[in-house]
């Protein structure tokens, strides 16, 4: 049976929760694609994915779906691989966030690369946003943590987000997936062992939240 081992780990009643859950995933690159794959294979298939990009050769070292699909629209490729999902081919902006109805989703999974819409999303929907920092420039997945955004360190990307949130007088409790590893290069070099782990962490935290497991 497809989900036999999932049910052995979580239980039949918990698996029913997965099947009833509705999620939206913003950004399906190196982090988002692994989160999608993990959640879908765990039985959470009612997922809407949002991205506007096409696959490039530079994606092939870290993004599921990229091999054999260079030049194709990412969400359309992933719809073929995960047929039960819903897709939106759309650039995520502050205006789109304001105009989109998120009310039916249990959680908003944020794997957006752009700082401004990320900040806007957190400010507006922090109670059900699960967000990650950038995963580039690092090689050690053991240094990935899930903790208060106000306690993060060694992460220039999250530092910028913190700064912008403070400028908006946002001081609420909010956790983020980030790595404390210092950057190993100036450019956006990446290692799937880290980007994938970010996605796995996002999926795990989502499941723990659904099952109300205290972290």
Q: What is the pLDDT of residue 215?
A: 55
Report yes or no on 176 lying in a domain.
no
CB within 8 A of 89, min separation 6: which ones? Answer: 51, 52, 73, 75, 76
User: CATH code at 71?
Assistant: 3.40.50.720
CB of 143 within 8 A of CB of 113? no
Q: What is the pLDDT of residue 186?
A: 85
Over residues 55-94, the pLDDT tens digits come to 999 999 999 999 999 999 999 999 999 999 999 999 999 9
CB within 8 A of 64, min separation 6: which ones? Answer: 33, 34, 36, 37, 78, 81
Report yes or no on 70 lying in a domain.
yes
Report yes or no on 113 lying in a domain.
yes
Q: What is the pLDDT of residue 1?
A: 85
Q: What is the pLDDT of residue 187?
A: 87
What separation, in Å, do the N-terminal and C-terminal C-alpha atoms of the chain show? 30
| Strand-strand pairing, 46-51 and 22-26 | parallel
> Could you count the other beta carbons within 10 Å of the beta carbon of residue 5?
9
CB within 8 A of 88, min separation 6: which ones? Answer: 48, 49, 50, 51, 75
Q: Above pLDDT 70, what percent of the chain?
A: 99
Q: What is the pLDDT of residue 214?
A: 58
Report yes or no on 161 lying in a domain.
no
Write out the two tokens for 63.
Answer: 């993004």
Write out the two tokens for 39.
Answer: 């959640």
Q: What is the pLDDT of residue 188?
A: 85
Report yes or no on 146 lying in a domain.
no
Report yes or no on 152 lying in a domain.
no
CB within 8 A of 5, min separation 6: which ones? Answer: none
Write out the two tokens for 174.
Answer: 């909010």
Q: What is the pLDDT of residue 9?
A: 96
Q: What is the mean pLDDT of each run of 10 residues along the chain (215 residues)?
A: 94 96 97 98 98 93 94 97 98 97 98 95 97 93 97 95 96 96 90 96 97 74
Q: Tell me which residue of 69, 196, 77, 175 sits closest to 127, measured CA to CA.
A: 175
Domain count, the chain: 1
Q: How far apart are CA 113 and CA 134, in angstroms?
A: 7
Range of the domain at 85: 4-135+192-210
Report yes or no on 215 lying in a domain.
no
Q: How far apart are CA 182 and CA 200, in angstroms?
A: 21
Report yes or no on 148 lying in a domain.
no
């Amino acid at each position: 049976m497809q989900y036999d081992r999932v049910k052995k780990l979580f239980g039949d009643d918990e698996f029913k929760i997965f099947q009833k859950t509705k999620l939206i995933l913003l950004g399906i690159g190196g982090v988002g694609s692994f989160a999608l794959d993990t959640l879908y294979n765990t039985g959470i298939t009612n997922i809407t994915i949002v991205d506007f990009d096409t696959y490039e050769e530079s994606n092939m070292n870290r993004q599921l779906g990229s091999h054999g699909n260079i030049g194709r629209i990412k969400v359309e490729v992933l719809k073929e691989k995960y047929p039960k999902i819903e897709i939106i081919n759309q650039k995520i902006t502050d205006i789109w966030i304001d105009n989109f109805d998120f009310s039916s989703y249990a959680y908003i999974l944020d794997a957006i690369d752009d700082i401004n819409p990320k900040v806007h999303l957190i400010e507006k929907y922090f109670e059900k946003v699960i967000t990650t920092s950038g995963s580039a420039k690092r090689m050690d997945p053991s240094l990935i943590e899930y903790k208060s955004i106000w306690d993060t360190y060694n992460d220039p990307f999250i530092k910028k987000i913190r700064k912008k949130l403070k400028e908006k007088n946002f001081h609420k409790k909010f956790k983020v997936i980030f790595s404390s590893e210092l950057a190993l290069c100036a450019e956006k070099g990446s290692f799937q062992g880290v980007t994938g782990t970010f996605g796995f962490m996002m999926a795990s935290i989502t499941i723990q939240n659904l099952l109300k497991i205290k972290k």
